[in-house]
Amino acid sequence: MNDESDNDKLLNAALADGEWAALSAGLRERSLRTFRVRRNLRRGLRLCVAILVFAVIGTAGLRFDHRGGMTTATGTRPAEAAVKASVNSPRISDDELVALFPKGSCAIAEIDGRKQLVFFDEKQAEQGYALGPQ
């Protein structure tokens, strides 16, 4: 990358005098400082983004875990038991059906002489519940 022509050699000799050397040394230092600052800024930004991504992933994981944890809070894991029961037998009882959903979210009611599963929060019911152990 150093193929200097005769013209270049002469021009460099004439133009790159002591004044240029002083200017160039200062400018080199300044450019390198800017380069360093930019590089550190970019690295810092990348680190921040990585931390943010980990934080988002971590929060999402915690929330996910928390939702599963609601059922474990009762200590007996009724949903898990219900799912196991449903796997072993083709039919489930009313209690087993209610136990499939988060505690207090629904109940079996008799309407017009027929048993029906009624959800207290219609919106949540439309969105759906996580069934069984997560």
Partner 1 sequence: MAELSPRNTARLTDFVGFPFHEAAGAPLRREAMNAAAEAERAELRRLTRAIRGGDEAAFGRFYDLYSLRIYKHLLVLARGDEETAREVLQTVLLKVSKRFEVFEDKGQLWAWLRQVARNAFVDACRARKRTPEFVSLDALGSEPAEASAEEDRLGAALRMALEGLEAADRELIKAVYVDGQGLQEIADETCQTYKAIESRMGRLRRKVKEDILDNLRHE
Would you say 39 or 63 has its CB closer to partner 1? 39
For the record, the structure tokens of 33 come out as 């400082």
The contacts found for 66-73 with CB under 8 angstroms, 24 or more apart, are 67/130, 67/134, 68/130, 68/133, 68/134, 70/102, 70/103, 71/102, 71/103, 71/133, 71/134
Closest approach of partner 1 to the CB of residue 29, in Å = 10
- 103 exposure class (CB count in 10 Å sphere: 0-12, 13-18, 19+): middle
Interacting span for partner 1 (CB under 8 A) from 29-37, 51-59, 60-68, 103-111: 29-37
Would you say 26 or 69 has its CB closer to partner 1? 26
Determine the residue type at 125. Answer: A
39 part of the interface to partner 1, by CB under 8 A: yes
25 part of the interface to partner 1, by CB under 8 A: no
Sole binder of partner 1 in the list 24, 76, 93, 116 (CB under 8 A)? 24
Q: Which residues bind partner 1 (CB under 8 A)?
A: 1-2, 6-7, 9-17, 20, 23-24, 27-28, 30-32, 34-36, 38-39, 42-43
